[in-house]
Structure 1
C-alpha cells in the first residue's frame, strides 16, 4: 500500500546562523522527507540576514547561551512563543517533530503550546547534565504529550532514560552517503606516501572538539613523518591562535582552512589520508565520522562510546584513548605505517555506512510517524479535554491559552 503524503512540522532549537550537527540533521531530514513527497516546514532561530531554504521559517534572532558544555544559539520568550503559535496554526500539520524538546528554546515552547501527534528526537549524550536536570521540572508534565521518542544513538537514549525516565527507539543521524562517496578529491588536499594529509573539522575554540589534543600529538607525528600536513577546518579565531602558539615552528605543517561549505567538506574528506576525531566528550553520535567513512577517508577517533559504536569497535577505523595526545600520535603513526590495514578498514567502513544513509533512516522515521498517527486515530486524535484545544485538520491541534 502506498504511503500517504504527510504535512510535517519540524522544530529545531538551535540557530542556523552558526549551524551544527542538530541543524544539519534537521535540514537533511526535511529534504529527505520532501524528496519522498511529503510537505515539510521547519521552524528554527535565524537572523534576518542568514540565508535559509524556503522551507525554514525563522523564529527570530538567537542569543548565545552556554549549554551542555558548548555554546548554543537559541531563542525564547513571549514574542517567540507568539511566532510558534502562528507557525503551528498556519502549518496545519499532521504530525509535529520536535528536536531537543527539553532545551529552553523553540522545542520547549512548541511542546508547551501544541497538542496532538508529537514525536521528539533527543540528541544530547552526557553522563551528567545540569542543563537537563534544571530543564526537566519545566517540561515534566508536557513530556507526556510526546507520543514517540527517538534517540540518535544508544548514548543519547541512555542520557534520556537516566535524566527523564521513559525510553526511546534509536534511529541514527543520517548521511547522504553517495554525496561524499562521489566527491572529487582536490590536488592541494591530496597526500602522498611521504607527505600524507590529515584532516580535522570542528569548532576550534570549543575544547571538547579536541583541537588541543591534536596539536599536542603533532610534534610526535612530525618526528616520524616530517612531511605530514594537517588541514584544520572550522570557526574559532581564539582556538587557532592558541594552536599556533602551542605549535611554534611546527605550525608550518598546519593549514587553517576556516569555515568550509558542505561541498568543500566532502572534497576535503575525499582527498585526505586520515580524518582525526579527537573529541573529548559530549558527542551523542559522530556524524562527521560517518561522512569521512562515506568519502573514503580512514578515521582515527577517540574512544568515546558513540565513536566506538560508529566504528564498530575499531573494525571501521583506528581508536585512541580520549584526551591522550601521545596515544593519538601512536594511532596516527600506526595507520600511516600500515597501508594494507588502512585499506581494510576503509573497505569495511564503506559497507558499514549504508545503515546511516538517509534512504534507510528516513524510512525508520516515517515508520515512527505512522505508528504515532495510527495511535492518534485510534484515540480520536485528542488526548485532553476538548474544551481546552482548538481543532486543526482533525489530526493535529493547538492549545490557545
Structure 2
C-alpha cells in the first residue's frame, strides 16, 4: 500500500504534529508500505529523504499559536506534481482545514482520503464562518481520525459527523531505554525538575512554573529547574531574583537529548494553560519512568487517567503547582505507585498499537472507496484562494 502523508506545518520548526507524521511514515516504511510526506520546508532545511518540500512557509496565528503554513500557486503546483508522481493508494492529510498545503491536497485528491484532526478548540466564531468554505472538503474525506476525545469533540462541534479516536504514537521503548545524563540527575537534597516547550508561547505555561520556583525552593532549597526549548529565557527570569540561578536553560535539544533528559530528572512538569488536545510529552515522560506533574486540562487528565499515572494541579495556579511538585518529591510511596501505573498505561500509546489501528483505517477506506464529489462553487473558491482557478 502506497501512502501519501500531508503535513500543514513547516519542518523548519517541528512540533508535535510534524513528529507524529514523521514517526508514522517511518513505521509504515518499516512495515513494507512505501510512504512519502509532503510538507513546507525552507530550502536548506534538513528533512528525511521521504519528505517532499512545497517550499517555504509564512507565520500565521492559528489555534492559539503561530504556525508556519504554505499556500499559493507555487505550493499548489508542487502538491499536484507530488500527487501525480506518488500514485498513492491512500492520502492521509493531517489538519486538513488548516490554511495550508493539506487543504490544497484535499481539493486535488483522486484517491481515498483519511483525515487526522489534532487540534482542540472551544466553539469558534471563525470556524463557524469558515464552514461553508470547508464543507466541500468534508465530502471528499473517507474516514476521520481524532488524536484525542478533545480533538474529536472539536470535530463534532465545528464540522458535524464523528471521528474515530486513535492517539498520537510514541516509541515507548526508546524512552524506557534512554541513557541517563549525570548532569541532569537529581539527589534527595537537590531534585531536578524539567520543562520542555517553546518559551515564547504563553500557553506552554513557563511563567506558571517560574512563579512556583521560590515556593518549591523554600521546601527544597537545592531544587534545580532545567528548561529546554527555543526562546528568550533570560527575560523570563528577570523577576526571580536570587532564585534565577536555580533555573538552567538548555536551549533547543535533540530527540536523543530529550529522551535522556526525561529519563534523568526527578519530575517533569507540564504547566500548559490551554490549547492542548493530547499531551504527547506526558506519554514520553511516563515511558521514561519520570514522575509527571501536569495542569488539569481535560486532555492531560485523559492521558494521565485522572491522575492515576501522574499528579495534577490547578491550571494556571503557580501555588498549586508548587504544592503538587513538593508532594510528588516528598511522598515516595505515592510517587512510585503512579510511576508503576504509568509504565503499564503507556502501552496503548506505543506505535505498534497506534500504527496497526491506522492501517486498519486505510484498509477500510480502500475496501469502500468513495468517488470525489463533483466541482462546486465552494471548491472553485478554494482553488482561487490556494492558487488555481478551478478544481481538476
Q: Same fold (TM over 0.5)?
A: yes
Q: 1:97 aligns with which of 88, 92, 95?
A: 92
Alpha-carbon contact 2:54-2:74 (below 8 Å) kept: no
Separation in 2 of the partners of 1:159 and 1:28?
24
Match of 1:182 in 2: 177
**With structure 1 as the length reference, what TM-score do the two structures score?**
0.92
- SS of 1:115's equivalent in the other structure is coil
Alpha-carbon contact 1:233-1:258 (below 8 Å) kept: yes
Superposition deviation, residue 241 in structure 1: 2.8
Separation in 2 of the partners of 1:129 and 1:277?
25
Match of 1:263 in 2: 256
Q: Aligned ranges for residues 214-225 of structure 1 at < 5 Å?
A: 214-225=209-220
Separation in 1 of the partners of 2:258 and 2:129?
36
Match of 1:248 in 2: 241
Match of 1:335 in 2: 328
Alpha-carbon contact 1:44-1:57 (below 8 Å) kept: yes
1:144 is the counterpart of 2:142? no
Q: 1:258 to 1:314 in 2, by over 3 A?
A: same
1:360 is the counterpart of 2:368? no
Match of 2:114 in 1: 119
- SS of 1:9's equivalent in the other structure is strand
Match of 1:58 in 2: 53
- Deviations 1:276-319, CA, capped at 9 Å, x for gaps: 00000000000000000000110000000010000000010000
Q: 1:69 aligns with which of 64, 83, 86?
A: 64
Q: 1:195 aligns with which of 179, 186, 190?
A: 190
Q: 2:29 aligns with which of 25, 34, 47?
A: 34
Q: Which runs of 5+ in 2 are unaligned?
A: 376-389
Superposition deviation, residue 131 in structure 1: 4.7
Superposition deviation, residue 249 in structure 1: 1.7
Separation in 2 of the partners of 1:385 and 1:135?
20
Q: How many residue pairs get matched?
A: 378
Q: Aligned ranges for residues 268-307 of structure 1 at < 5 Å?
A: 268-307=261-300
Q: Which runs of 5+ in 1 are unaligned?
A: 1-5, 387-398
Q: Aligned ranges for residues 9-48 of structure 1 at < 5 Å?
A: 9-48=4-43
- SS of 1:141's equivalent in the other structure is helix
Separation in 2 of the partners of 1:129 and 1:283?
15
Separation in 2 of the partners of 1:246 and 1:130?
37
1:210 is the counterpart of 2:205? yes
**What is the aligned-residue RMSD (CA, Å)?**
1.3
Alpha-carbon contact 2:38-2:54 (below 8 Å) kept: yes
Match of 1:3 in 2: none
- Deviations 1:88-143, CA, capped at 9 Å, x for gaps: 00000000000000000011111111132000000010113355334433211121
Separation in 2 of the partners of 1:363 and 1:206?
34
Separation in 2 of the partners of 1:298 and 1:107?
37
Q: 1:130 to 1:183 in 2, by over 3 A?
A: farther
Alpha-carbon contact 1:15-1:73 (below 8 Å) kept: yes
Alpha-carbon contact 1:102-1:132 (below 8 Å) kept: no
Separation in 1 of the partners of 2:249 and 2:118?
29
**With structure 2 as the length reference, what TM-score do the two structures score?**
0.94
- Deviations 1:323-369, CA, capped at 9 Å, x for gaps: 00000001001111111211111111010001000000000000000
